[in-house]
Chain A
Amino acid sequence: MATKAPSKPQQSETRRDFLYLTAGAFGAVGAASFAWPFIDSMNPAKDTLALATVEVDLSPIQVGQSAKVTWQGKPVFIRHRTPEEIARAEGVDVSALRDKQADADRVEKPEWLVMIGLCTHLGCIPLGQKPTDPKGDFDGWFCPCHGSHYDISGRIRKGPAPKNLAIPPYEFLNDTTLKIG
């Protein structure tokens, strides 16, 4: 400051600084709390959140077949795996994987593989559900968007995706009914 107040300049300046700071802090808190409703309004609404669970009848899905159901707007892959496929999924050296997970940690019953059918790279739906689909280098699923290869346990083996295909929360209500969510 070029000019100084005549009496006790030091003290009056600190008091003023304090007032500036507190007023500024209150203003910032006020602005943030005012902004929150606007921001939160863009989060999922209650009706969107209500679509939480879905029940699936497993009886028509034969060994070696796959099904695709919708849960929360997302496709869920259900595969009734053959004994060879289970053996192949379990026979992989876990330490060599990008996202290290044993097959046993990804299933409740080895014959039923249930996972969210969205590539963990950028959310495309991998191919491999139909017998005629390309299944990738590891004979599981293949994402056509950016070339991610998944094995028969839905684990990422090659390509840009960082994670294995996600497992949704699910439980078997009885031998033929699956509840997802």
Chain B
Amino acid sequence: MASGKREKFDNPVVEWIDSRLPVFTLMQKEYGVFPTPKNFNYFWNFGAIAMVMLVTMIITGVVLAMQYTAHADLAFESVQRIMRDVNYGWMLRYLHMNGASFFFIAVYIHIFRGMYYGSYKQPRELLWILGVLIFLLMMATAFLGYTLPWSQMGGWGATVITNLFSAIPGIGDTLVTFLWGGFSVDNPTLKRFFALHFLLPFVIFAVVFLHVWALHITGSNNPLGVEPKTKKDTIPFHPYYTVKDTFGLLVFLMLYVLVSFFLPYIFAHPDHFVEYNPMQTPAHIVPEWYFLPFYAILRAITFDIGIPFTDIVFIEAKLGGVLAMFGAVGVLFILPWLDTHPVRSARFRPLYRLSLIALVAAVFGLGYVGAQAAEGIWVILGQLLTGYYFLFFFVIVPVLSRIEKATPVPESINAAVLEKKKKKA
């Protein structure tokens, strides 16, 4: 991106800077004239939306950190003080806590877009992997932030999630003590969680930079999944997609602001209003909604895995649940190699499309199951849906890669756009 030919700028200040550090040339090349497929639909807004949400979270987070006290005796009170006494503290906190939810909404839609239109396929595998990495970092950051108000839900959520690591054979208990810095979730735990919650968003920012860099090497995928071949297939990013992104962003931000101001506790839980008590578990611990499907997968493994009718157990139920939960995210990393079908877009793959929509339904179902008490029908339903989740990735996708016959794919983006126009006329 550095050396090479550079066009002169008319403005002398811009030119002075650009001839020493070509940031204006870079922006012009990557966001001004950057050739972008001309057939994007609104699904392509969500990368930019997620980026804006990340920045929103960092800005609101930094000012909240100036008021928050990371100490087990003071944290809960300091959050109440933010809500009552700090100027606009209530607004900043509402924007930050609901911002997390809307960040996840944007990212989940963004991930679905990638899966539906086959954006993870060659040559965008690394781009996809960086995205999954961002998703994992987001989950870690969100979990750490959830504990900071030191409420019943936060403290016990921290206990449950850190205890996941105790399932690791041999070193599990030592590792959990290390994570806690003690023998239970207490002051040392809170302080390190705060430090990491502050650090990780900047790590996310760095990975987002790599994600966008990789995107600008391969170029964007598009709803047809057909690579642009000629200049007729693309348009410059500015003004066409800066305008389209801004429009979508404004709609999204309106929903975000509506919830933050008028329904601020729609995603919250009463146990967030009670200070953490290490001697009393709330009757019903639930994570934030964006973790519920994975939480349901964790709880679905209620049985030991071993040789039937003997006492030989290879994987205890607890470790099995933890492996299944991390596996549910981890499988996304290898998706580009599970799905080797040459056609990218689900538009031309009716069977893949149907199975993917069923997967989305299963994930919603798991989210519902994750919010219910772990008993009766919910256990069985959770197991069935978990079964489909892994069936999709490990059986349906690889099999369809081999046997599915795609419907005719247009020869170019331009041809498909003209065809559509002709039909309309």
| Contact between B183 and A44, CB atoms less than 8 A apart | yes
Taken together as a complex, chains A and B put the C-alpha atoms of A145 and B287 apart, in Å, by 11
Please provide the 4 A-B residue pairs with the shortest distance between their CB atoms, ordered closest to farther: A73-B184, A72-B183, A123-B163, A122-B163
Q: Name B285-339 residues within 8 Å CB distance of A.
A: 285, 299, 301-302, 304, 316-319, 321
Q: Is the CB of A44 within 8 A of B374?
A: no
Interface size class of A (residues with CB under 8 A): 20 to 34
Report the separation of the CA atoms of residues A146 and B317 in the bound assembly, to the nearest whole angstrom: 12
In the docked arrangement, what's the CA distance between A147 and B304, Å?
15
CB-based contact A123/B159 at 8 Å: yes
Q: Which residues of chain B have C-beta atoms less than 8 A from A48's C-beta?
A: 181-183, 186, 188
A144 touches B283 (CB 8 A): yes
Asked if residues B182 and A44 are in contact (CB atoms below 8 Å), the reply is: yes
Q: How far is the CB of A53 from chain B (nearest CB, A)?
A: 13
Docked complex Cα distance between A68 and B304 (Å): 31
Sample of 19 more A-B contacts, CB < 8 Å, known A122-B163, A145-B160: A42-B179, A42-B181, A42-B192, A44-B183, A44-B188, A48-B182, A68-B279, A73-B182, A73-B184, A98-B304, A122-B159, A122-B166, A123-B159, A123-B162, A124-B281, A146-B374, A147-B373, A160-B302, A162-B167
Evaluate whether A44 and B318 lie within 8 angstroms (CB atoms) in the complex, with A73-B278, A160-B302 already known: no
User: Nearest chain B CB to A37's CB is how many angstroms away?
Assistant: 14
Question: Does B60 sit within 8 A of A, measured CB to CB?
Answer: no
Question: B376 to chain A: closest CB distance in Å?
Answer: 10
Could you list some 10 contacts between A and B, CB below 8 A?
A: A44-B177, A44-B181, A70-B279, A73-B278, A75-B278, A121-B163, A122-B164, A122-B166, A124-B159, A144-B373
The distance from the CB of A35 to the nearest CB of chain B, in whole angstroms, is 14
Q: How far is the CA of A159 from the CA of B321 in the complex (A)?
A: 12
Chain A 92-132, CB-CB to B under 8 Å as 1, else 0, gives 00000010000000000000000000001111110000000
Tell me how many residue pairs across A and B have CB atoms closer than 8 Å.
Answer: 88
On B, residues with C-beta under 8 Å from A are 156, 159-164, 166-167, 177-184, 186, 188, 192, 278-281, 283-285, 299, 301-302, 304, 316-319, 321, 373-375, 379
Across the interface, do A160 and B183 meet the contact criterion of CB distance under 8 Å? no
User: Within 8 Å CB of B192, what residues of A?
Assistant: 42
Distance from A156 Cβ to chain B, minimum over Cβ atoms (Å): 10
A3, CB-defined interface residue at 8 Å = no
Q: Which of chain A's residues have a CB closer than 8 A to the CB of B284?
A: 144
Contact A160 B299 (CB under 8 A): yes
A43 to B242, CA, bound (A): 49
A152 contacts partner chain B, Cβ-Cβ < 8 Å: no
Which residues of A are found within 8 Å of B317, using beta-carbon distances? 160, 162
Over the window 50-80 of chain A, the binary record of Cβ atoms lying under 8 Å from chain B Cβ atoms (1 yes, 0 no) is 0000000000000000001010111100000
